[in-house]
């Protein structure tokens, strides 16, 4: 029997090419499924001419509230695509988050306080010190949906509008305000400069970005609110954070970078601004990512949705 080596090699080559093409299509299909941005979606600039935007938060209806921090005002982008001023002045508010009662919690940076603002704009100071010493400056926060206890980060970013002395706390920590809002305590003190913070809807996991070390960590939340089992989530810090209904975590800084719950990067969203500060998911059906970036407010349609 005569074997035609040329034909055999051709068949092997054809099989290899076919396998490569199938593998390529499979990879593209997997990437399309894991990307959080909706197919064909484009980033849209909703509004601009701000000084520095921060702290987006979504209410039950899907409206977005965010801060124009240097201009000392909280803005509202409605589900009808209308922009308005919700509150000015606002204590130089930075990070924002809604509680279950519809109150807007704000990291009021002017006097290093934490506020609760009711729907009519009346504010209540929840925290103005710890152990009779000024906080560094509450920056970002997350309200646990299980019991309404509140975690917030307290990094030190010195402001030219402050009338105070040097840092009074012994470090830059993560704090927990009890559900009755009477007890405040540091729950993690082993971070260089904590900033962005977000938790899972089941109240079991807290993510904290240590922007000072360029890392983000995950913690287990215990029934008493304490944090255990610190573990590295990814080697990237972040200014602000959010999470979607698949457990993907969105980090900010140079645009938006998205990691799945295992800490693997699965998507990036470039933003044409010098700095991307913060993100949240809202809109009428809670499938739009809103991005505060330097002088603008941006949005992009997502395949995924808000974590609820």
- Is residue 34 a part of any domain in this protein? no
Mean pLDDT value across residues 152-180: 96
- Is residue 16 a part of any domain in this protein? no
- Is residue 18 a part of any domain in this protein? no
Which residues share a beta bridge with 202? none
Which pLDDT belongs to residue 34? 78
- What are the tokens at 218? 């995950």
- Is residue 21 a part of any domain in this protein? no
Confidence of residue 7 (pLDDT cuts 50, 70, 90): low
- Cα–Cα dist 9/40, whole Å: 42
CATH number of the domain at 226, please.
2.120.10.30
- Is residue 226 a part of any domain in this protein? yes
pLDDT exceeds 60 at position 3? no
Q: How many domains does the chain have?
A: 1
Which pLDDT belongs to residue 5? 44
Give just the sign of the alpha carbon dihedral 296, 297, 301, 304: positive
Element holding 170 (H helix, E strand): none
Range of the domain at 120: 41-301
Cβ partners under 8 Å of residue 232, min gap 6 = 215, 216, 217, 218, 263
Contacts of range 33-36, beta carbons closer than 8 Å, 24 or more positions apart: 34/260, 34/266, 34/267, 35/266, 35/267, 35/303, 36/244, 36/246, 36/248, 36/250, 36/258, 36/266, 36/267, 36/289, 36/302, 36/303, 36/304
pLDDT, one tens digit per residue, over 278-299 is 999 999 999 999 999 999 999 9
């Amino acid at each position: 029997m005569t074997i035609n080596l040329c034909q055999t090699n051709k068949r092997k080559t054809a099989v290899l090419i076919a396998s490569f093409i199938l593998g390529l299509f499979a990879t593209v299909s997997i990437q399309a499924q894991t990307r959080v941005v909706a197919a064909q979606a484009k980033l849209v600039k909703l509004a601009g001419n701000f000084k520095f935007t921060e702290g987006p938060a979504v209410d039950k209806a899907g409206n977005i509230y965010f801060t124009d921090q240097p201009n000392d005002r909280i803005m509202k982008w409605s589900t009808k695509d209308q922009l308005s001023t919700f509150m000015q002045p606002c204590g130089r508010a930075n990070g924002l988050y809604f509680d279950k009662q519809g109150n807007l919690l704000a990291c009021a940076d002017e006097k290093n306080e934490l506020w609760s603002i009711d729907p009519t704009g009346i504010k209540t100071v929840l925290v103005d010190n710890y152990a009779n010493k000024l906080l560094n400056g509450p920056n970002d926060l997350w309200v646990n949906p299980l019991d309404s206890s509140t975690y917030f980060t307290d990094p030190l970013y010195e402001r030219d509008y402050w009338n105070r002395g040097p840092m009074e706390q012994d470090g830059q920590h993560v704090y927990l305000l009890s559900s009755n809002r009477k007890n405040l305590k540091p729950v993690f003190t082993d971070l260089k400069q904590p900033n962005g913070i977000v938790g899972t809807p089941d109240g079991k996991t807290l993510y904290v970005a240590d922007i000072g070390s360029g890392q983000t960590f995950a913690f287990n939340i215990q029934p008493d609110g304490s944090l255990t089992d610190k573990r590295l989530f990814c080697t990237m810090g972040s200014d602000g954070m959010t999470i979607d209904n698949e457990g993907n975590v969105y980090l900010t800084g140079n645009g938006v970078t998205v990691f799945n719950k295992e800490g693997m990067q699965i998507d990036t969203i470039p933003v044409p601004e010098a700095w991307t500060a913060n993100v949240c998911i809202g809109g009428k059906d809670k499938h739009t990512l809103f991005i505060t970036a330097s002088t603008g407010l941006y949005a992009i349609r997502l395949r995924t949705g808000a974590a609820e």
